[in-house]
DNA sequence: CACCCGTGGAG
DNA sequence: TCTCCAAGGGT
């Protein structure tokens, strides 16, 4: 075995994280195997998302849909509602499609190879390799952001990302052992998450400290080298929170693709780079006495949104293209965070009754 | 390859 | 306050 792998696995046996979806080294020795459904579900949720944020969603999904067939049979709206707040909603749409495919075309069993997994919706290079290694003991090179950081530091690779990806992949492949490839992958990620961190890495505790080229150069934080990213533009718009006297809220469903695709929303204007908000009231979904309730700011990946929030209590509930949802069941709606923020701005108590 | 796609916590 | 960015994938 590659000496890096041997050193890392020894470190992992002693210092690995305990995670809800993980089968640790000790349990594996007792014969326990990772459930591919659990591995897949966790990997999809963990895409660009912190372990801390994922834990509660993972437990909720697993309790509600214990097997992939259950998820395949679920209503898409319920899956989107359960995913609400986690972000990157295309993941939820692909999660559902993938579950349906596995249930209908693979007899409820996930493919056990990289190629078979990668053919499924929502599974790319990283996730296919991770599931193949962790659930099926395939020695695939698992490269995520943690691994990129560890490897670029270990070998002082100063080519900027993403151009360095092929080199990082090759280096990772060379290190990956035939035995325990899943533990090796998780060990690399644990190392990146707990020791080889983006800032102020704890090199003194690193199993690679004697061999790390970046540490030898006395500047591990210089790696990985990344190109500067573009500034985040500002977009503006207005949101209209309409309430009936008996406590129902006007909601719509966004189109299935694109930003917040398939999620619920209150009616809004378009989100553009315009700076005037004077014609907002004219863009309202119906004529009423709209009261300005202030502005909210929400930061998306590639732009910042400033929404003027308007509120009205309308006795007339006939509106085209929407539904009046009871405030008491807002917790069951697929409302993304930005919409919860807008609703709370107009109706401060809207979600308080739902919190437990 | 470049761009789109959320959210919240850490420093 | 502000910047960074977390187990990336789709187009």
- Summarised one tens digit per residue, pLDDT across range A243-299 is 999 999 999 999 999 999 999 999 999 998 766 555 566 788 888 899 999 999 999
Protein residue with the closest CA to the C1' atom of nucleotide C8: A47
Alpha helices in A106-207 (DSSP H): 114-118, 125-136, 145-154, 165-175, 181-194
Instruction: Compute the mean pLDDT over every residue in chain A, rounded to the nearest whole number.
Output: 94
Which nucleotides of chain C does any protein CB come within 7 A of? 4-10
Q: How confident is the model at residue A316 (pLDDT cuts 50, 70, 90)?
A: low
CA A4 from chain centre, in angstroms, equals: 30
Find the Å distance, CA of residue A283 to C1' of nucleotide C10.
Answer: 33
Q: Does A172 score more than 50 pLDDT?
A: yes
Task: Please identify which of the residues A7, A43, A178, A333 carries the catalytic annotation.
Answer: A43
* A275 or A21: which leads in pLDDT: A21
Residue A117 phi/psi, 5-degree rounding, is -70, -40
Q: Does A2 score more than 70 pLDDT?
A: yes
Protein residue with the closest CA to the C1' atom of nucleotide B3: A302
Find the Å distance, CA of residue A288 to C1' of nucleotide B9.
Answer: 40
Protein residue with the closest CA to the C1' atom of nucleotide B11: A199
8 Å CB contact between A282 and A249 = no
pLDDT given for residue A272 in this prediction: 85
**Residue A43 a catalytic site member:** yes
Q: Which domains does chain A have, with CATH numbers?
A: 3-222 (1.10.340.30), 234-354 (3.90.79.10)
pLDDT in tens, A128-146: 999 999 999 999 999 999 9
């Amino acid at each position: 075995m590659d000496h890096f792998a041997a050193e890392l696995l020894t470190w992992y046996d002693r210092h690995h994280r305990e995670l809800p979806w993980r089968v640790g080294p000790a349990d594996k020795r007792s014969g326990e195997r990772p459930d591919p459904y659990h591995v897949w579900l966790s990997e999809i949720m963990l895409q660009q998302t912190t372990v801390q944020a994922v834990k509660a969603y993972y437990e909720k999904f697993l309790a509600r849909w214990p097997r992939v067939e259950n998820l395949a049979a679920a209503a898409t709206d319920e899956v989107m509602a359960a995913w609400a707040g986690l972000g990157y909603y295309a993941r939820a749409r692909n999660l559902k499609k993938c579950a349906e495919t596995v249930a209908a075309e693979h007899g409820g069993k996930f493919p056990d190879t990289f190629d078979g997994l990668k053919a499924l919706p929502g599974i790319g290079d990283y996730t296919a390799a991770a599931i193949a290694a962790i659930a099926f003991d395939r020695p695939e090179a698992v490269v995520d952001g943690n691994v990129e950081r560890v490897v670029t530091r270990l070998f002082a690779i100063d080519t900027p990302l993403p151009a360095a990806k092929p080199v990082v992949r090759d280096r990772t492949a060379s290190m990956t052992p035939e035995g325990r490839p899943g533990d090796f992958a998780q060990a690399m990620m644990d190392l990146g998450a707990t020791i080889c961190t983006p800032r102020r890495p704890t090199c003194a505790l690193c199993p690679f400290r004697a061999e790390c080229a970046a540490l030898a150069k006395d500047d591990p934080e210089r790696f990985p080298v990344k190109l500067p990213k573009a500034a985040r533009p500002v977009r503006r718009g207005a949101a209209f929170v309409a309430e009936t006297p008996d406590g129902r809220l006007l909601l719509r469903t966004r189109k299935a693709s694109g930003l917040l695709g398939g999620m619920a929303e209150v009616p809004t204007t378009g989100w553009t780079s315009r700076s005037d908000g004077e014609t907002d009231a004219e863009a309202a979904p119906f004529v009423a006495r709209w009261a300005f309730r202030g502005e909210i700011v929400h930061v998306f990946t590639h732009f910042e949104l400033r929404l003027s929030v308007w509120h009205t209590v309308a006795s007339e509930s006939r509106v085209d293209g929407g539904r009046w949802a009871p405030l008491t069941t807002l917790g069951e709606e697929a409302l993304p965070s930005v919409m919860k923020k807008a609703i709370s701005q107009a109706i401060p108590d809207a979600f308080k009754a739902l919190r437990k």
